[in-house]
Amino acid sequence: MTDLVTDYFNPKCINLSYTIGIIKPDTCMKEQNIQDIVNKIEDEGFIIKNMIQRQLIKEEVLNLYYKHLKQEYIDQIVEYMLSGECCVILMCHETENPIEKWKNMIGHKNPETAKQTDDKCLRAIYGQDLIKNELWGSDSPDDANKERDIFKFTIPQKIPEFHFDKMKISIETLFKFIYPPNQEHPSVNERLDLFALYGPAVNYHSVDQCLCNPCARIGKELLEQVRQEKIVKEKIKLGLSIRNDANLKKFAGSMSTKKAGINKDEKVKVAPIRLLQEEHIQQIYAQFCEKCKFHVDNYAHLTGGRDGQVVLTDQEIKGMGYDLNKEELLDLLTIEKGNAAKNMIQKIPIKEPDNLIYNKELIKILFQELDTDYYERYDFYDIQQMILEDRRIRMTSWISQLVSKPVDRFKNPKLIDPTLTQKQKRNIKNVNFTLERTLPLSMTIKKQEIKNVSTDLPPSIIDKKKLQDNELSIALEQKLHRHTTHTLTIDQLNQQATSRQTVTLIRDNYNEGRHGNWNNYSTFKGMQKGTYVKSKNYPVNHEFQ
């Protein structure tokens, strides 16, 4: 663990237990004495966090000896402590109780007794009598805390060790999942909701789906080592003998299991591991190609399948989001419209209205009241509670627009119970947590006006003259996304029904809009009327048969 050296208290760090030691005036007069004592302190494993050498004032001495104020010798103690400089030390110990450890080092308060019990203790070496025993030590954690306040020392802390934990989510990891680089306009709200319902999304990557063949082989070798380590741990746990499985495999084809000396009861099966976790990626990251490095740096995945060893594709996520919204809309419409809901759900688009869509700023605002650890990671359950409660508000606003009913007419089910207190409602850890606002953030927070826009934008990968091998597919996807549009709708009129079909066209200039020139054209065969498509090589409204 790393020590934290700051002049302020950080609630996200770990407080260290500590003690206060004081070297009194007669011993403090010689610099060599101070140096010798400090060396012994460090040799015993103490870590000195703060140390001052100065003349104490009377109030400080009286506060130190508050337990002895009614004793006859208090005046002698005060007089002696004010007779010269003292050295005050705040120290910690990583493995032992610092208060008890320091007490044992300085010895009994009476130097004569200290010499009889342990002639190597500090009071036996430097002490003269009960008043001039030369060393001070805190009696308890409460006393150490009071003494620390007397000298205005900060509480010693250390930075907690970083551990990979999939239940600790940073906002960067969340954005990797919501805004994957291969999608220019992802379904933000759907991905946000799926993250809460089927998450957490993690920086795990499949050796079968995410990596190229050479990098996948490197990953598979590491995962096989991890699997073998799990087998050994399971055998130790079950009290089975550990053998060299690699050597046993050589005899598998030539002799029976019994002759090879393999006991069937000692076989431990561990399912194959297909996902590289964050700690695994850290070990082999330098061996990855640039394309795979880009992938593991910029993507986060939902996992599924057997033992969660498969990452969900974008198509699967899109389908899950569609089904989720459709099912909940149907339930809400059934409450409002009864049996007519099934007919309505077939006609309405299952896509959240634009005024309900969130962006990065709104997502950050949504989580701004949640606590994080030292590494700015949220607890997944806190994020989950917040997203699901916000989804309730968004779905209520969506259904209110569909049925033309004011949002205020929809009741919050968590506010029905009158016995719930405000503390219960606002506590994210409580099952009754709720947001009292009725509108989603996208409708309550005003967009900031753009005053100054920087024109120094980084060049797009599409506009680069030379592309590397790993950039070709990315540039192609972005170019198709930029230049492909669904604009032309063709009606085929029949006597019984009307069907609509959409043509996808590629245009030269993104800014030409609907009436620009097109590179290609489409036609539908079997139609009584021709299709009218604007093309670069043909006049407007040219008819193709």
Average pLDDT of the residues in 431-443: 89
Strands (E), 56-194: 85-93, 135-137, 157-159, 168-170
| pLDDT band with cut points at 50, 70 and 90 for residue 100 | very high
> 56 φ, ψ to 5°?
-80, 160
| pLDDT band with cut points at 50, 70 and 90 for residue 5 | very low
**What pLDDT shows up at residue 534?**
43
**What pLDDT shows up at residue 250?**
39
Distance of alpha carbon 474 from the chain centroid: 27
In the predicted model, is pLDDT for residue 327 greater than 80? yes
| pLDDT band with cut points at 50, 70 and 90 for residue 198 | very high
The encoded tokens of residue 126 equal 């430097």
**What pLDDT shows up at residue 103?**
95
Separation CA 350–CA 358 (nearest Å): 17
Separation CA 321–CA 234 (nearest Å): 39
Average pLDDT of the residues in 182-192: 91
**Tens digits of per-residue pLDDT, 347-396?**
888 999 999 999 999 999 999 999 999 999 999 999 999 999 999 999 99
| pLDDT band with cut points at 50, 70 and 90 for residue 540 | very low
Separation CA 276–CA 135 (nearest Å): 56
| pLDDT band with cut points at 50, 70 and 90 for residue 92 | very high
Of 477, 367, 373, 309, residue with least CA distance to 162: 373
In the predicted model, is pLDDT for residue 52 greater than 90? yes
Higher pLDDT, 277 or 262: 277
What percent of the chain has a predicted confidence (pLDDT) above 90?
A: 54
The encoded tokens of residue 461 equal 């990968």
Residue in the structure block whose two tokens are 């590629």: 506
Query: Which ranges in 161-277 belong to alpha helices (H)?
Result: 171-178, 188-198, 213-238, 245-250
Average pLDDT of the residues in 57-74: 92
Which region among 57-71, 126-140, 300-314, 476-490 has the lowest average model confidence (pLDDT)? 476-490
**What pLDDT shows up at residue 57?**
94
User: Given phi > 0 = left and psi -120 to 50 = alpha, else beta, which region is 521?
Assistant: beta
Separation CA 373–CA 10 (nearest Å): 11
In the predicted model, is pLDDT for residue 523 greater than 50? no
Domains belonging to the chain, first-starting first, are: 14-158 (3.30.70.141)
Q: Give the H/E segment covering residue 205.
A: strand 205-206
**What pLDDT shows up at residue 471?**
78
Strand pairing of 46-55 and 135-137?
A: unpaired
What percent of the chain has a predicted confidence (pLDDT) above 70?
A: 80
Residue in the structure block whose two tokens are 């029904």: 497
**Tens digits of per-residue pLDDT, 457-508?**
677 777 777 777 777 777 777 776 666 554 444 444 344 444 444 444 444 4
Helix (H, G, I), strand (E, B) or coil at 240: coil
Average pLDDT of the residues in 77-82: 94
* pTM for this prediction: 0.70
Question: pLDDT averaged over the chain?
Answer: 82
Of 23, 63, 70, 41, residue with least CA distance to 145: 63
**Tens digits of per-residue pLDDT, 115-174?**
999 989 999 999 999 999 999 999 999 999 999 999 999 999 988 999 999 999 999 999
Residue in the structure block whose two tokens are 């016995």: 419
